[in-house]
Amino acid sequence: MTDIRQITKDNAYDAVSPDDFEAMMNTERYNRRSSAFDKIISATHDHFWDPMDKRYIDFTDSFDSENEMLIDPELVPELKLPSFEKLSEKEKVRFVNETARWMMSAILHGEQGALNLSASLCHILLDPGAQEYAANQAREEARHVTAFAKYVQARWGKPLPCGETLANLLAEMVNAKEVYKKIVGMQLLVEGLAMGTFATFFNTARDPLLVKLCQLAMTDEAFHHKFGKIWADRTIPKLSQEERDIIEDWAASVFQTLLFNLVNPEQKKLIYADFGLDWKQVQAEMLEAVTDEDRREGMKDAANVFRVLVKTLLKAGIITDRTRAFYATYVDMEELKNEDDRMVGDDIAEQGIDFLKTVNFAKKNLLANVAAD
């Protein structure tokens, strides 16, 4: 593979073709382990949790989803459209909860994509430290798949199919042979999207089980994002203009796809049909109701997922004057520039880690007492 496709500038992120296993058996490789990831690898023990263990989370906790909304209805803009005025209050509750099902299903599919992508990094990263980190992340993403699958099962029975936009994006990143697409796409953009989404649900969801689940997931996602940040710090300053343009343009196209299609009514037509609504009519009403000014207003919220994505790219050095105007249409770039590097959800994740340390310490003492007996 050519260097321009891989675009690696630091030995810690050197990569080979996924079918080049011979490179992994190079005897010189084993002693060339970067220490760049040691800290986040060691921290794995601090944020360990088991979705099958009720000491961490209990998926048997009940919720009256027939009469109560699982999430804040403000997260469901369709309720303000003319097509939805004819729905009864009971139907509105069901629509909000079906929308929550669609959102949770998307998160579940995204976690599956993150699991497969992390595993695919193990096939191409040459540095043993980077490879170990990727293997750790694969393990953590696997528990997210288990956890969100159990949540969806507890509340709805089974998930909805993945929307076409997200499915195509995940497939592109998982199957990509270019390291930058995997890291910018998953570790920065999708993980940033996840942190913003989880923070929103943590702060506004009405189902305590969902609040707990999001915080637990965030204890892992905060570290996954750091892996991408290390890549950006070690790579972006060393890029040629051509290489920077390739990465910057690809990131902008992904952001644009997410902004205009992730919550496009066409993606949710399965839900609308269940309520006797035509998705094209909903789309027409949405286009009239939601303007660029509405998007700008929404992005003033620190937890707004798209604002989180712009900040992620800006702080990583992936937004320059070439694309700054595009993002500035929706968010105050100077305001973002002057903010510190902490991401939305970092405080929530840290509180979650404190809880996990307590549980894990108690488990350790219990096992020690059992062994002593």
8 A C-beta contact, residue 151 and residue 62 = no
Locate the domains of the chain by residue range: 46-372
- Mind spelling out the 3-state secondary structure of the chain? CCHHHHCCCCHHHCECCCCCHHHHHCCCHHHCCCCCCHHHHHHHHHHCCCCCCCCCCCCCCCCCCCCCCCCCHHHCHHHHCHHHCCCCHHHHHHHHHHHHHHHHHHHHHHHHHHHHHHHHHHHHECCHHHHHHHHHHHHHHHHHHHHHHHHHHHHCCCCCCCCHHHHHHHHHHHHCCCHHHHHHHHHHHHHHHHHHHHHHHHHHCCCHHHHHHHHHHHHHHHHHHHHHHHHHHHHHHHCCHHHHHHHHHHHHHHHHHHHHHCCCHHHHHHHHHHCCCCHHHHHHHHHHHCCHHHHHHHCCCCCCHHHHHHHHHHHCCCCCCCCHHHHHCCCCHHHHHHCCCCCCCHHHHHHHHHHHHHHHHHHHHHHHHHHHC
Backbone torsion region of residue 155, taken as left when φ is above 0, otherwise alpha when ψ lies between -120 and 50, otherwise beta: alpha
Query: How sure is the predictor about 225, in pLDDT bands with cuts at 50, 70 and 90?
Result: confident
8 A C-beta contact, residue 344 and residue 195 = yes
Q: Please state, rounded to an integer, the average pLDDT across all residues of the chain.
A: 90
Has residue 263 got a pLDDT over 80?
no
- Nearest Cα to Cα of residue 308 among 136, 189, 227: 189
Has residue 4 got a pLDDT over 50?
no
Find tokens 């303007």 and name the residue: 291
| Six-digit token string for 62 | 């009940």
Residue bearing the bigger pLDDT, 211 or 367: 211
| Six-digit token string for 91 | 């139907």
| Six-digit token string for 34 | 């970067």
**What confidence score (pLDDT) does residue 3 get?**
45
**What confidence score (pLDDT) does residue 366 get?**
58
In a 10 Å sphere around its CB, with 0-12 CB exposed, 13-18 middle and 19+ buried, how is residue 273 labelled?
A: exposed
Residue bearing the bigger pLDDT, 192 or 80: 80
**What confidence score (pLDDT) does residue 314 get?**
92
Give phi and psi for 125, each to the nearest 5: -75, 125
- Nearest Cα to Cα of residue 52 among 199, 153, 197, 159: 153
- Distance, in Å, from the CA atom of 18 to the CA atom of 123, rounded to the nearest integer, reads 5
Average confidence (pLDDT) over 237-252: 92
Average confidence (pLDDT) over 314-343: 89
The pTM for the full model equals: 0.91
- β-bridge partners, 15: 125
Has residue 2 got a pLDDT over 90?
no
CATH assignment, 46-372: 1.10.620.20
- β-bridge partners, 125: 15
**What confidence score (pLDDT) does residue 172 get?**
93
Query: How sure is the predictor about 373, in pLDDT bands with cuts at 50, 70 and 90?
Result: low
Give 97-153 pLDDT, tens digit per residue: 999 999 999 999 999 999 999 999 999 999 999 999 999 999 999 999 999 999 999
Percent of the chain residues past pLDDT 70, beyond the cut: 96
- Nearest Cα to Cα of residue 313 among 257, 254, 264, 261: 254
Percent of the chain residues past pLDDT 90, beyond the cut: 62
In a 10 Å sphere around its CB, with 0-12 CB exposed, 13-18 middle and 19+ buried, how is residue 290 labelled?
A: middle
The count of other CB atoms within 10 Å of the CB of residue 13 is 25
Has residue 22 got a pLDDT over 90?
yes
- Distance, in Å, from the CA atom of 31 to the CA atom of 40, rounded to the nearest integer, reads 20
**What confidence score (pLDDT) does residue 346 get?**
87
